[in-house]
Amino acid sequence: MTTQRRYPIGAEVLPDGVSFRVWAPRRKRVEVVLESGAVTDLHAEPSGYFSAVVPPAANGARYRFRLDGGAAFPDPASRFQPEGPHGPSQVVDPARFPWSDSAWPGASIEGQVIYEMHAGTFTREGTWEAARRELPELASVGITVVELMPVADFPGRFGWGYDGVGLYAPVAIYGAPDDFRRFVDDAHRAGIGVILDVVYNHIGPYGNYLPQFSEDYFSRQYNNEWGGALNFDGDNAGPVREWVTTNAAYWAEEYHLDGLRLDATQQIFDTSPEHIMAALAKRMRAAAHGRKIFIVAENEPQHTRLVRPVVGQALPPVENSLLACEEGGYGLDGLWNDDFHHSARVAMTGRNEAYYSNYLGKPQELISAVKYGYLYQGQRYPWQAKRRGAPAWGLSPARFVTYLENHDQVANSGRGERVDRLTSPGRYRAITALLLLAPGTPMLFQGQEFGASSPFFYFADHEQETRGLVWEGRIQSLAQFPSLAQPEMRPYLVDPGDPATFERSKLDFAERHSHGGIYQLHKDLLRLRREEPVFRAQRSGGLDGAVLADEAFLLRFFGEPVGRQGDDRLLIVNLGRDLKLEPAPEPLLAPPENQVWELLWSSEAACYGGAGTAPVESGLGWRIPGHAAVVMRPAPQSEEWQI
């Protein structure tokens, strides 16, 4: 009584046994070997697949595929590797998990506040169970989506996950597959979506057994920065494309995930009529069965085509078709915005070496990043000695994911220091206001919301013979920063393979209380974002900005409909010393007719650790506090105010 398989690859539990199917075109014979001792020949199919239903197998059975009577290897589509990538695969029946999120609608990118999380360092225990207990607290802060760093099975006791080798197998060091499902189920119960960082540009070097099944998993046409590029457009590319698009569907169906973050998409090479990114997005949306899905890309060259509609797809109502090239995109939903990060970091720290060298951190840069997304949209980019970016006209601000910290940028500080340790408290609070009130999609890195003192290093538990090479490679990578390349810094650059490096990167939740001021600031700003219509709107053309001084600027958020000025709000950011404006010949500072501006919020409030805020606007002009941000709203004009 065999029923139909859901996926073209992997092990699936059926009523009369387990169906195994694997693509191994370089082999003449494939057997499934159960740890119980049973051995079954799989039937060869004309397309290079091998398959069979094995009655003795059941949920929990461990197995390998023996190839041509020789060595046996894990399943390329293994649902779980309980002993790591070198061990046996395990049959997992997803139907056994009791989901309780049937009413969960999914998540689109609009209106979200993303929280990047590394499951191994988010809690002391480093498990799904421990992380699950913290979800209500994240919801209380205002987090709406958790973005998990990669969990695809990788070797060792700890790592970032970008060297994964088991795309379908959640790494065992965080818990069992059902522990991961329980994390997602509880996140949905708390009102939080979950998206997963996935790596489709390469496979890690250790525990990668794909070539044993087919050398055509990898392309011979392209050079990849981290290893062999996956073959999406060469000979025998069809099954490789199927392996990846099915993976995207699998995360939506078997784990109820709300989307993906695609790592380093500039290293995903494909000249097919339908790009693999468009194909996997379509496949995942279909697999969500009506739930909303959103997919974000990291793309260093800043190609906006990734979020343009595919041919024949209607533009979202919030966007305008301004360019003829807008159709023919890949249909993704969002892009990481490094330009915003780089400019904001230079503004906070004053340091602009290496890949920060083409940013000044000036007010106009920050205004433009807020209004237009990318700063580089086709101009020459001297750091790379070439043009960078593509036009972003017409794209909703929500398409751009903005941040002050992420895993790469914190680790690239050399000492793993978070940016609040590299700037003044006032500047940090002011730029945080810009991040959380601007119309992009804000993202916080774990612990950022309470000013975590723990560093976040690059760590990877590689095999002993390569550990030294990884450390030297890391030192060479950081040497692009002249300050970090100095001999005096070498003793402060930690060994990625040292377990202490991993342990030091873990959060201490006691700091939610000891750092209560910055924690409250994040909560209050996210409440403002939720409750103030102009801050939650993420509307194209919904604001304008002006430079007030060398380190000061304002953003005016327009009420809806535009022209109804009583709903306007001002965000003024001053990263320099106290600024007095008298006169103030800037139209964006003008209050609505017969009204004045009053203070709604200040980053210098005493409860945040600030020094207090004197009246900002009066009949005598403006006095804008230094190293601060203020939010102003219209109020009725009184006789006492007018001179």
Q: Find the catalytic residue in 263, 319, 604, 617.
A: 263
627: DSSP letter: T
Helix, strand, coil percent content, the chain, rounded in steps of 5: 30, 20, 50
What CA–CA distance (Å, rounded) separates 425 from 403? 17
What are the strands, taking DSSP E only, across 514-619? 543-549, 552-557, 569-574, 579-581, 595-602, 617-618
CA distance 248 to 243: 9
Q: What angle do CA 264, 238, 87 make, to 5 degrees?
A: 70
Q: Specify whether 263 is catalytic.
A: yes
Question: Could you say which of 298, 326, 365, 604 is catalytic?
Answer: 298
627 Ramachandran zone, left/alpha/beta (phi>0; psi -120 to 50): left
The DSSP 8-state label assigned to residue 278 in this structure reads H
CA distances from 502 to 44, 126, 326, 494 (A): 45, 11, 44, 10
32: helix, strand or coil: strand
Q: Could you tell me which of 330, 321, 208 has the C-alpha nearest to residue 280?
A: 330
Residue 50 identity: F
Strands (E), 516-562: 543-549, 552-557
How many Å apart are CA 608 and CA 575, to the nearest integer? 17
Nearest to 459 by CA among 130, 129, 163: 163
Both tokens of 42, joined, read 């799989």
Q: Is 584 exposed, middle or buried (0-12, 13-18, 19+ CB in 10 A)?
A: middle
Indicate which residues carry an active-site annotation: 263, 298
